């Protein structure tokens, strides 16, 4: 499955744009700030979540557009539309074949994985970023993962609010919220563990190649006895244990050291290796390869790794969107790609 058509209206730097790429490489070139990443973000919004930037809806609307925006894509014979209206700029709307739909349900139609320059420090920064990355990997294999995560978060917020109140707590309501957290937390934990185990096996069987091989594991995430932890969590003002505290541990297999201690180039190679292995895993398990969004990926790779990446992606198939300031960075891909130039809020064939 791939995005056969993408149309934008009042989205970021685009008043109006239409792109109709093929199923393989989609190469976007243009100057810095031209709007290349905006197109990748639009594609990412055809899946659950807040997109590759994690931005609020209000930030996505073109400033001259009055507050609303629309992104629409055709995937197979399915038309997906998402955006926000001028009347409700902070409420995301989703339509599938013209009918209202849930954003969490979009994973049934399209799996999207991405790498952006902001993720280069994924292994060294806070655990929250690695957790979001992990959940994107899980979602490609378990479409219901987003629903469990949303329901767990909603129950946890309600529990935290209740624990913050003075006076006797409503024991029945607290018990119901904790039961909901336990139910959805268990589903989240099981899906994450299964994904890490399956991906770990694929990584272990893969040759080192041009990209460093990673060893992965989970740390934390057990909620424990929520009822027994009420006083502790009330004092802290938040729930201190549970799947919202899970961390993804990544080790450079060749050096037997944490990824965070590896060089910048090694961390980049580990991250690329993880995403490529996961794309293969998803294709093998589901029969459909995820759409990959690789922002400025070629600029930070030496020629040998760049050639290896293009060869690996081309051999695997599937739709791969890549951005760069110069077309020469992608010379090894050849003429089978869709070559697009981005400039001044417009997209045209190169």
Which strands make up the sheet holding 214-219, listed edge to edge?
Answer: 214-219, 247-252, 257-258
Nearest to 39 by CA among 27, 22, 56: 27
User: What pLDDT is stored for residue 290 in this prediction?
Assistant: 94
User: Domains of the chain: which residue ranges?
Assistant: 1-111+288-350, 120-136+144-274
Cβ(294)–Cβ(113) under 8 Å?
Answer: no
- Asked whether the beta carbons of 20 and 71 are under 8 A apart, the reply is no
Is residue 306 within a helix (H) or strand (E), and if so which, with residue range?
helix 303-316
Whole-model pTM: value is: 0.92
For residue 163 the two structure tokens come to: 């624990």
pLDDT of residue 350: 80
Span 270-287, pLDDT tens digits: 999 999 999 999 999 999
Residue of 305, 304, 309, 335 lying closest to 322 (CA atoms): 309
Cβ-based neighbour number of residue 315 at 10 Å: 7
Q: What is the pLDDT of residues 15-38, one digit of tens each?
A: 999 999 989 999 999 999 999 999
pLDDT score of 251 = 96
Specify the CATH superfamily of domain 1-111+288-350: P-loop containing nucleotide triphosphate hydrolases (3.40.50.300)
pLDDT of residue 302: 86
Question: What's the CA dihedral at 34, 38, 43, 47 to 10 degrees?
Answer: 170
> With a cut of 70, which residues of the chain have pLDDT below it?
none
C-alpha 254/C-alpha 153 separation (Å) is 37
Q: What is the pLDDT of residue 119?
A: 93
Q: What are phi and psi of 26, to 5 degrees?
A: -125, 110
* pLDDT tens column, 88-138: 999 999 999 999 999 988 988 999 999 999 999 999 999 999 999 999 999
- In this structure, which topology does domain 120-136+144-274 adopt according to CATH? Glutathione S-transferase Yfyf (Class Pi); Chain A, domain 2 (1.20.1050)
């Amino acid at each position: 499955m791939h995005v056969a058509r993408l149309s934008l209206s009042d989205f970021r730097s685009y008043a109006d744009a239409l792109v109709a790429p093929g199923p393989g490489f989609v190469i976007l070139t243009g100057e810095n700030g031209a709007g290349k990443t905006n197109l990748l973000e639009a594609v990412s919004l055809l899946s659950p979540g807040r997109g590759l930037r994690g931005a609020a809806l209000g930030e996505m609307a073109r400033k001259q557009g009055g507050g609303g925006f629309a992104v629409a894509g055709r995937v197979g014979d399915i038309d997906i539309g998402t955006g926000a209206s001028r009347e409700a700029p902070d409420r995301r709307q989703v339509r599938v074949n013209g009918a209202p739909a849930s954003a969490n349900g979009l994973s049934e139609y399209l799996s999207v994985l991405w790498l952006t320059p902001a993720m280069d420090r994924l292994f060294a920064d806070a655990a929250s970023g690695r957790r979001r990355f992990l959940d994107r990997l899980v979602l490609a294999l378990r479409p219901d993962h987003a629903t469990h995560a949303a329901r767990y978060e909603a129950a946890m917020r309600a529990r935290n609010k209740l624990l913050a109140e003075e006076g006797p707590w409503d024991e029945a309501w607290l018990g119901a919220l904790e039961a909901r957290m336990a139910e959805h937390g268990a589903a989240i934990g099981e899906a994450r563990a299964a994904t890490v185990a399956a991906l770990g096996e694929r990584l272990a069987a893969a040759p080192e190649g041009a990209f460093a091989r990673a060893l992965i594991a989970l740390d934390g995430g057990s909620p424990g006895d929520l009822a027994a932890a009420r006083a502790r969590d009330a004092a802290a003002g938040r729930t201190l244990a549970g799947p919202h505290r899970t961390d993804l541990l990544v080790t450079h297999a060749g050096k037997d050291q944490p990824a965070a201690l590896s060089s910048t180039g090694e961390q980049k190679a580990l991250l690329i290796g993880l995403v490529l292995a996961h794309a293969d895993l998803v294709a093998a398990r589901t029969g459909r390869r995820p759409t990959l969004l690789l922002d400025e990926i070629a600029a930070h790779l030496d020629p040998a790794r760049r050639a290896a990446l293009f060869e690996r992606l081309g051999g695997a198939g599937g739709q791969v969107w890549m951005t760069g300031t110069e077309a020469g960075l992608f010379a090894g891909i050849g003429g089978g790609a869709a070559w697009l130039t981005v400039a001044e809020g417009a997209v045209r064939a190169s």
